[in-house]
Structure 1
Amino acid sequence: MSQIKIFDTTLRDGEQSPGVNLNQVEKLEIAKQLERLGVDRMEAGFPASSKGDFQAVKAIADTIKDTSVIGLARTTKQDVDIAWEALKGAASPSLHLFLATSPIHMTYKLKKTPEQVIDTAVSMVSYAKQKFSQVEWSAEDASRSDWNFLAQIIEQVIDAGATVINLPDTVGYTTPNEYGEMFRYMRENVPNIDKVQLSCHCHDDLGMAVANSIAAVENGVTQVEGTINGIGERAGNAALEEVALALKIRSDFYPYHTNLKLDEIKRTSDMIAKFTGMSVPGNKAVVGRNAFAHESGIHQDGVLKNTETYEIITPEMVGVKSNTLFLGKHSGRHAFKDKVKEFGYELSDEKLKEAFDAFKLLTDRKKEVTDDDIFTLLTDIQTDTAAASKYEMQMFQVQYGTANIPTATVSMKTPEGDIVQTACTGQGSVEALYKTLEALIAEEVNLIDYQISSVGGGKDALAESHVQLMVNGETVNGRGAAQDVVEASANAFINAVNRHVVQQTNLKKEVIRS
């Protein structure tokens, strides 16, 4: 069976999802999990886009050793040089260059003639090859490009040193038949096409990203690009977990395989959902909470007799485990440490103690502590930004009921070290709390989105909240968990504000250094 390489762009294209704003610690944890998942290549970011992205890509490149780390760049020398500085510490530094080739993009966005586009692409691939042994070149909006022109530019960038040719369906416009035919045409009309790998990159605007990716594989593509959970701009990208499972389950039809460790899919999906705040729909293929649920009596009867009657994927195949008690209030530090390692987290002694203390506190309040509970605790602690200058809630109290006006009182420590306190009312408990927090925070804050969900089930389940705030004109996400829904909401709000505070502090430090 032929191997299909998996190119994950969750950290680059996935982070371009509206409202998603990952910090460096979160990106590094995602990169480590993607390495455990077994992706062949990971696009860590766009180094030239910002100092923050440059630092995150550099940290990932310096850490990840078993997966090729890639940076995105426009066809400019400055972008290529910045990408090299970020990636040169990687085990196998690679570059992803892109340039639009469709008539509408060349005319209105690039304002270049087809000849100028070819010259730019060739010169920049040649320049990049002086630094990077692996150079992927993408024809942005390939699915709306002239095929004859595509064949010309592809031939020339291959001669210039490109090692991978990617033909993306940038706007999710094409169909499986059209997309497959495009790759077949290039294989038949580009004389040096055998010198490179062909790659596909599909968006899901018409709901056909996975189908288009499979069609590309059927027509000679050996690398599939996409994201975990299918996140990305607009309607997102091809969901890599769906592509991998389609090839696995239908191996009788598709003579291909990937190197993904399929039992790491669920954990990877959960991590991406938590960090991005983009919850996985219940009916999502492979990783949705209903993917293995059966409500129909006929279905339940069939599954009880033989799971293959209605389940083509076993829960264990993708890493879904029964959410049973694994540790309790009498569990010791050693057992807890072993569980932390099982989750793939590497905690410092200080954070391990913090996590264990939080776990013990949870066992006093919650009858059953599950894997999901522990994963949530570890995620929050591992990605918490350790900074002296940030907001810390000292105390909060909310009074509400059907017969009185909801009122919240909050005492908070400011980044300057002052203790401030006030109270506000609202139409509900969360509104009262958020108005109080806004009154105490010096930054200008506006709530854009608020979500609350439970971790697992039961009346004593942990609550997890995600918020999106506009802080001093910048969109920031926040995440918080607690056994009380109001406390979880407060934690998420403060987490978002602190992300902005820490980011601004780091930017000031960079300015001083420079």
Structure 2
Amino acid sequence: MSQNTDNVVGMQNCDKYAREYFMPPVTSLKWTQKEYITEAPMWCSVDLRDGNQALVVPMNLEEKLQYFQLLVSIGFKEIEVGFPAASETEFAFLRTLIEQDLIPDDVTIQVLTQSRDHIIRKTFEALHGAKRAIVHLYNSTSRAQREQVFRKSRQEIIDIAVSGAELVQACAAQTPGNFQFQYSPESFTGTEMDFALDICNHVLDVWRPTPEHKVIINLPATVSMSMPHVYASQIEFMSEHLKHRENVTLSVHPHNDRGTGVADAELGVLAGAQRVEGTLFGNGERTGNVDIVTLALNLFAHGVNPRLNFANLPAIRAAYERLTNMEVGKRHPYAGELVFTAFSGSHQDAIAKGMKWREEDERRYWSVPYLLIDPKDVGRAYEGDIIRINSQSGKGGIGYILEQHFGIDLPAEMREGLGYRVKSVSDRLHKELLPREIYDIFIEEFVNLNAPVEFVGYHVANQVDYLTSVTVRIDGCVMEWTSTGNGRLDAISRAIQQNLGVAYSNLVYKEHAKGVGSASQAVSYIGITSSDGTRHWGCGMDADIFTSSVKALFSVVNKLRPAVSDLVQERSSAGPIRSLYG
């Protein structure tokens, strides 16, 4: 049946938007032939500049120092520390890092400067004595900026870049320190590709990079304007046509306006970028910068060492939230509170079985269903993280929770009945159930049930026909039932059926230990089929293994209610219960 769109309103004013980006003048699609990224790019954190300027309340000096140490501990070797000509705090932070010798020898700081004379000079004043620093020069090049903001021609924009590059070179020669140069045609994604190439090459002609003094050309998606494959083609075109390419480090700086920052960065690296600028958890103006945490762990998930350490991601997230007053979303890739959590019953069952399968041979590659990476590799625990229970959960997840938290290894058949009960409680209360709440439901519904028939004790008379007496209490009256069987448990089962007048069949039994040493308890499970074909389960716990099995038997018999309750009530009303059962 075809859909009639004549009366669809939607958002008809979409025709006001044009695609204000530019494809390369030649085909640039070699990147499409690559399957994945084979090694990590160079990383540059811009948290302390790009990320900081996006905060409602920017970090103070002490907070910036703490954040710098956080970035160093993660393993960043290039860190953009600010725009020192922009404010006293930025200037003071840079001077503190240099004068107090807080920059490790293997870490290069980076500073940003517009291509304006007084800003460049102020920047080098702040950099005096830096052991290793990248001076990041930029000016805007897009058609929209040229026409609307600067109202300058292409040549005039090139002149701004070239004069800035010359002044940076001159100031570096006069300032104590060790400096590398970087140029960004800001708003690259809205720039015609021939012009972007032309202005970068003019800057390279000034700096003339060598193997010993490479230059960084950074191509930012200042505003993400196209689908990721277009950005990749732009990067490939620039990579193949830049002058001095062997001495140029090609960098990308994607923003996330279209929600494709990670894809832009990954495809950009496939297309020839060797370096990525971004922030932890994507902090930045508008929708943010590209998230380096996600990029790095995407590599990790493909078996590539990201050369950054996120083994304690919860601690990193906590430090980030404390210092920036920003929050990491609960579904944020890898770092979110719920990203490794399954509520769906089918997902829980698959995860539980996958984890069990993995225990059988830990040498296998990680391939647990629904879990891209092992949560423990980023500092997350299996208990309480992977499987959590609400009204959408299933028997597999509930069984997994009991096993992981309490050592309760339910028989597969028993899980279904418990699952329905747990889901019912969650649905009625409209809340997630914690492991202890699930355990309490299990105890209440299945374990050591003693009403209406309470088990008191047993005595085995002989081991030939297992003549066994079992003592019970019903309605306050104590009595003893005796029977024989092919084992002690069978004899007690026969005594129950004979004296209560109930019938069941297909008794199955499972047991295991719960805990170790003197605190160990035996846990037994018994399943029976009642006369109407319904399957019932009970559980017993006791320090003695056989006693736990007898308690499990009484638990399941008591679950035959109302059948057992009705029989007890019927016989009690006929006279003293001792006379009926004695």
TM-score, length of structure 1 as denominator length: 0.60
The aligned residue for residue 223 of structure 2 is: 171
CA 1:323–1:117 in 2, change beyond 3 Å: closer, same or farther? Answer: farther
List aligned pairs for 1:45-444, cutoff 5 A: 45-61=82-98, 62-65=101-104, 66-130=106-170, 131=172, 133-161=179-207, 163-251=215-303, 257-307=305-355, 308-320=368-380
Q: Note the C-alpha offset of 1:104.
A: 1.0
**CA distance in 2 between partners of 1:17 and 1:290 (Å):** 26
**CA distance in 1 between partners of 2:113 and 2:288 (Å):** 21
**Paired residues of 1:87 and 1:94 also in contact (CA < 8 A):** no
Amino acid at match of 1:245: L
Q: Note the C-alpha offset of 1:295.
A: 1.1
Q: Note the C-alpha offset of 1:247.
A: 1.7
Aligned length: 323
CA 1:110–1:88 in 2, change beyond 3 Å: closer, same or farther? Answer: same
CA 1:36–1:289 in 2, change beyond 3 Å: closer, same or farther? Answer: same
**Paired residues of 1:31 and 1:64 also in contact (CA < 8 A):** no
**Paired residues of 2:239 and 2:273 also in contact (CA < 8 A):** no
**CA distance in 2 between partners of 1:242 and 1:108 (Å):** 36
| 3-state secondary structure, aligned to 2:198 | helix
CA 1:77–1:319 in 2, change beyond 3 Å: closer, same or farther? Answer: farther
Q: Note the C-alpha offset of 1:257.
A: 4.7
**CA distance in 2 between partners of 1:290 and 1:220 (Å):** 35
Per-residue CA deviation, residues 342-370 of structure 1 (Å, 9 max, x unaligned), is xxxxxxxxxxxxxxxxxxxxxxxxxxxxx
**Paired residues of 1:201 and 1:238 also in contact (CA < 8 A):** yes
Aligned-pair identity in percent equals 30
Per-residue CA deviation, residues 359-409 of structure 1 (Å, 9 max, x unaligned), is xxxxxxxxxxxxxxxxxxxxxxxxxxxxxxxxxxxxxxxxxxxxxxxxxxx
Per-residue CA deviation, residues 482-503 of structure 1 (Å, 9 max, x unaligned), is xxxxxxxxxxxxxxxxxxxxxx
Q: Note the C-alpha offset of 1:323.
A: 9.5
**CA distance in 1 between partners of 2:42 and 2:314 (Å):** 20
Q: Note the C-alpha offset of 1:277.
A: 1.3
**Paired residues of 2:375 and 2:382 also in contact (CA < 8 A):** no
Q: Note the C-alpha offset of 1:293.
A: 1.2
**Paired residues of 1:166 and 1:201 also in contact (CA < 8 A):** yes
**Which entry has the higher C-alpha Rg, 1 or 2?**
2
Amino acid at match of 1:154: C
| 3-state secondary structure, aligned to 1:44 | strand
Per-residue CA deviation, residues 208-239 of structure 1 (Å, 9 max, x unaligned), is 00000001000010101111010110111110
CA 1:293–1:88 in 2, change beyond 3 Å: closer, same or farther? Answer: farther
| 3-state secondary structure, aligned to 2:85 | helix
- After TM superposition, which residue ranges in structure 1, 4 or more long, deviate above 6 angstroms? none
Q: Which runs of 5+ in 1 are unaligned?
A: 325-456, 459-514
| 3-state secondary structure, aligned to 2:48 | coil
Higher mean Cα deviation, 294-303 or 3-12?
Answer: 294-303
CA 1:102–1:257 in 2, change beyond 3 Å: closer, same or farther? Answer: farther
Per-residue CA deviation, residues 444-493 of structure 1 (Å, 9 max, x unaligned), is xxxxxxxxxxxxx99xxxxxxxxxxxxxxxxxxxxxxxxxxxxxxxxxxx
Q: Note the C-alpha offset of 1:151.
A: 1.0
Per-residue CA deviation, residues 40-69 of structure 1 (Å, 9 max, x unaligned), is 211111101111111122223441213211
Q: Note the C-alpha offset of 1:322.
A: 7.5
The aligned residue for residue 6 of structure 1 is: 43
The aligned residue for residue 371 of structure 1 is: none
**Paired residues of 2:141 and 2:191 also in contact (CA < 8 A):** yes
**CA distance in 2 between partners of 1:216 and 1:129 (Å):** 29
**CA distance in 1 between partners of 2:109 and 2:76 (Å):** 10
**Paired residues of 2:376 and 2:382 also in contact (CA < 8 A):** no
CA 1:174–1:275 in 2, change beyond 3 Å: closer, same or farther? Answer: same
Per-residue CA deviation, residues 250-271 of structure 1 (Å, 9 max, x unaligned), is 24xxxx6532113144432321
CA 1:323–1:300 in 2, change beyond 3 Å: closer, same or farther? Answer: closer
List aligned pairs for 1:428-507, cutoff 5 A: none
Per-residue CA deviation, residues 282-333 of structure 1 (Å, 9 max, x unaligned), is 0111100011111112222222222411211222222335899xxxxxxxxx
**Paired residues of 1:37 and 1:264 also in contact (CA < 8 A):** no
TM-score, length of structure 2 as denominator length: 0.53
Q: Note the C-alpha offset of 1:77.
A: 2.6
Q: Note the C-alpha offset of 1:124.
A: 1.5
Are 2:78 and 1:41 equivalent residues in the alignment?
Answer: yes
